[in-house]
A and B are shown apart, each in its own frame.
Chain A
């Protein structure tokens, strides 16, 4: 079930966000992650320093300069600046033995609440080093010599851009801890102690006799998939041109994203076909989805950030999923009841046309034929909106990540605008799908088949399908 898969994804993502708060390695730990991405012209290093409760406490006097017991954004940034020079000097990158200069592109700092209500800190530096001409086939070495005697999780991952080959690497591709957000908990496993990586790069194929870059599970590493949405977010400056461009892209991404499994396309289609809706209904449905989805992303994003002390977003997700399922189930059952009875009435007595619904679907005749479109008595605004809400209630992980990274980057406004554009994109696809179903349905529903009993049963079956889908969503959420 698609909706369920999306729900699972969201839950996984949220668990990742939440579990960054707990350090399985204890409150003493100082954890580091070095994510290296080999490109054809440059090597990017994303360096993360994650301080558990006690190191944070120990650094507290140097961070909390105004002594108010809180770490303001400015204080964190100032502290990061104060440690940057020494910390970054502890990172060494070289190609064929000659040192490459790492340039700082971007840095960010964040704090969250750890155990015992104590703050924990995370600092990130995005670095880049230009590769000299003719670096194809070069042996690259990265080393992190910071905090070598300090306990903690130290991880190095090497990945490659499109068109670049990495081979004979001493490091694996991909982060096992999701960049220090989610440490493996189930296995018996001591912390990783990876502080360096050696690997070769070229822009051709893996030379014979060499081993391609692999992930920890042993699979050959794929080029980095870029999260374009988040990339949109992290441009260094937002100019009007960039903003418009970003909006368009966000819209497009949303539209494409809706085609991926799990956006209630089946439900929308089944509903509209079954109830013989009009394009107006499809549009209304789309708008409701946009609205609910945008709202859901904000709500969950904020909940994740601020309220995680009081309840677990997983619980909220399950609750949301359950309610969304309940709405679908209720609508489905109600529709089924009416349609089933309607079918029954129709076959025995001439149905009255008084049951005009508020959507204003009128009966009309087609060229002499006395057939009347069966009044979609159940196609009410209430149902439509309910369905739209249920469709938009579970935010897409992509949008949630966008919102969270917007908050992280301190560009909340931009994030909101992009999320809305994304939601619109999403809804436009859903509407389009709904229309497609509608026109498809009209084609089938022409007079030729008017008396076909099977066709008459379609609305009833579709109501049943909707009810079943709702029940499944409810069941899986508990």
Chain B
């Protein structure tokens, strides 16, 4: 009983203090430099600008720190700019330095979110568990916990956590949206794409009926629906979703990139190149740059392709030295293009030792195959397929591994499966799948 009181009194005290300080610090008349001038945001958003001023003026205001960290995370989600992620982490940590987690539950929650976004899933999980103890019986704590458990590959525990999330629920529309987004993810991983789609559509309709529809959330749901459609080879539908997503949120980087991918799958290489060039000019994610390279290669522009591959490699290495955010992307890129096979394998193996999710197993399997470690590839791909996820890439990797292991029938069945789910799942790899299948026959 002590804790909630402590938290409440601390928060109300700080609110009182900040109000008082705000008054005491109000500047003398006439010294406002922007009196009578048009208000213009000098920062990413007016809210960020106001909150930054606030924390500068009242460095002890942890509530403002928490809000600011949330805003930074939102900026990161909208632009993909990892600089905002670093700011969010910094701000959340400062907030907790001002007021410890016991009195600052919101600060701990935003820190856990920032850690999740920076792929520090172990820390995020620990902080979610701490939240669970400090603020028991809340849906959002289970959501945070489930998120990191899912990424760490603890699927049973994640399922339980999401179960609890639903049980405690919430009445806020955004809570419901977040809930359905998680359930969609869980369904997809378990191979139930139809249910996944349903959850996404529910999330989308709840978000759309809000008083102020959250632009980025809606764009994300549409993009995710597009991803599901794409994974099932429904390219027309996927393209429609991506275009809807972009109509609501012009330039949304995820949808621009995915539009590029679906256009390539439909054979519109020029259109695909246009979209990929657009997204890489704004958001040079090595994944997108490598994809642009693939499309260049498919279009016969070998030199341009080689240049993109080199850039992807450099960026990956540069970013990995700092954050490791693109570790998996880089390993898969190497394996896909048959470069630095041993490094790629080491990277994947290293990551899998810390984070045992099925996509980590898939990356390990694919890089192990390329590094000539067939047995390890076989056991890893079995891990990757344990949930029954319906992903053409996993089937393709499984097929190639089986082919290398001399299991012709298995290889044929897996490659056929991959191509029947999505005949053009990747501009380069789908062709390899088809070629291998022909050789097997």
Contacts and interface: CB of A to CB of B under 8 A. Distances in A.
B33 interface: yes
Interface residues of A, number: 37
B311 A190 contact: no
B29 interface: no
A190 B38 contact: no
A229 to B, nearest CB: 32
Given A116-B321, A170-B37, A190 B282 contact: no
B284 A190 contact: no
B409 interface: no
- Interface size class of chain B, counting residues whose CB lies under 8 Å from the partner chain: 35 or more
A78 to B, nearest CB: 19
A241 interface: no
Contact of B37 (A26, A53, A194, A211): A211
B37 A187 contact: no
B35 A211 contact: yes
Contacts of A115: 318, 321
A118 B33 contact: no
A40 interface: no
Interface string B73-90: 001000101111011001
Contacts of B87: 188-190
Contacts of A214: 33
A24 B82 CA distance: 11
A151 interface: yes
Contact of B42 (A28, A168, A188, A194): A194
Contact of B307 (A61, A149, A194, A196): A61
Nearest to A218: B33
Contacts of A24: 83
Contacts of A55: 284
A204 interface: no
Interface in B71-116: 72, 75, 79, 81-84, 86-87, 90-91, 94
Contacts of B40: 170, 196
B41 A193 contact: yes
Interface in B303-345: 307, 311, 314-315, 317-319, 321
Given A116-B321, A150-B282, A191 B33 contact: no
Contacts, number: 100
A126 interface: no
Contacts of B36: 168, 209, 211
Nearest to B311: A57
A308 interface: no
Contact of B48 (A25, A57, A60, A190): A190
Contacts of A28: 81-83, 283-284
A190 B44 CA distance: 8
Nearest to B80: A151
Interface string B253-282: 000000000000000000000000000111
Given A28-B81, A116-B317, A214-B33, A193 B42 contact: yes
A58 B277 CA distance: 11
A198 interface: yes
Interface in A169-197: 169-170, 172, 187-194, 196
A190 B319 CA distance: 20
A27 interface: yes
A420 B217 CA distance: 63
Contacts of B351: none
A458 to B, nearest CB: 53
A116 B318 contact: yes
B35 to A, nearest CB: 6
A151 B83 contact: yes
A8 interface: no
Given A58-B284, A190-B44, A211 B33 contact: yes
A192 B284 contact: no
A54 interface: yes
Interface string B12-38: 000000000000000000011111111
B251 interface: yes
A46 interface: no
B251 A190 contact: no
Interface in A225-255: none
Contacts of B68: 188
Interface string A26-43: 111100000000000000
B404 interface: no
Nearest to A26: B83
Interface in A336-382: none
Interface string B42-75: 1110001000100110000000010010001001
A189 B38 contact: no
Contacts of A27: 315, 318-319
Nearest to A210: B36
Interface string A60-97: 11000000000000000000000000000000000000
Interface in A304-319: none
A188 B43 contact: no
A149 B56 CA distance: 27
Nearest to A172: B33
A326 to B, nearest CB: 39
B75 A190 contact: yes
Nearest to B323: A26
A216 B45 CA distance: 18
A187 to B, nearest CB: 6
B43 A192 contact: yes
A54 B315 contact: yes
B315 A57 contact: yes
Contact of B90 (A151, A188, A218): A188
A193 B290 CA distance: 30
Contacts of B35: 211
Contacts of B317: 116
B72 A190 contact: yes
A404 to B, nearest CB: 27
Nearest to B85: A26
A188 B55 contact: yes
11 contacts: A58-B284, A116-B321, A118-B314, A151-B79, A151-B83, A170-B37, A170-B38, A188-B52, A190-B48, A190-B72, A198-B38
Q: What 8 A-B pairs have minimum CB-CB distances, sorted nearest first?
A: A151-B81, A214-B33, A26-B83, A25-B83, A116-B318, A54-B284, A149-B282, A194-B42
Interface of B: 31-38, 40-44, 48, 52, 55-56, 65, 68, 72, 75, 79, 81-84, 86-87, 90-91, 94, 251, 280-284, 307, 311, 314-315, 317-319, 321
Given A27-B319, A28-B283, A190-B83, 13 more contacts: A26-B83, A27-B315, A27-B318, A55-B284, A58-B280, A116-B318, A118-B318, A150-B282, A188-B52, A193-B43, A198-B38, A211-B33, A218-B33
